[in-house]
Amino acid sequence: MSELNNIALKILNDGKGILAADESTGTMTKRLETVKVTSTKENRLLFRETLFSASSMTDCIGGVILYDETIKQETSKKNKIPELISKMGSAAGIKVDTGAKVLAGSPEEKITEGLDGLRERLKEYFKLGAKFTKWRGVYNISKDYPSKLSIQSNAHALARYSALVQECNMVPIVEPEVLMEGEHSAKECFLKTSEVIKKCFEELILHKVDLKGIILKPNMILAGNKSKDKISNEEVASLTLKCLKNSVPSEVPGIAFLSGGQSEIEATENLNLINKNNNTNFIMSYSYGRALQQSALQFWSKNIHDIEGTQKIFNHRAKMNSLAAKGKWSIEIENQ
Instruction: List residues with catalytic annotation.
Output: 217
Does residue 286 sit in helix, strand or coil? strand
Task: Please give the Cα distance from 179 to 137 (Å, whole number).
Answer: 10
Of residues 176, 70, 157, the one with CA closest to residue 118: 157
Q: Which of 124, 254, 135 is nearest to 203 (CA)?
A: 135
Beta-sheet pairing, 91-95 with 61-66: parallel
Query: Alpha-carbon distance 74 to 201, whole Å?
Result: 38
Whether residue 232 contacts residue 186, with contact meaning beta carbons closer than 8 Å, is answered with no
Region of 311 (left: φ > 0; alpha: ψ -120 to 50; beta: rest) is alpha
Instruction: Give one DSSP letter per residue of 181-228, joined into a string.
Output: -SS--HHHHHHHHHHHHHHHHHHHHHTT--GGG-EE-PPP----TT-S
CA angle, 135 then 180 then 281, to 5°: 60
Q: How far is residue 306 from each of residues 45, 293, 325, measured CA to CA in Å? A: 15, 15, 29
Phi, psi of 278 (to 5 degrees): -70, 105
Runs of H (alpha helix) within the chain: 3-12, 25-34, 41-52, 56-59, 68-71, 81-87, 118-128, 148-167, 186-206, 233-247, 264-276, 290-302, 307-324, 331-335
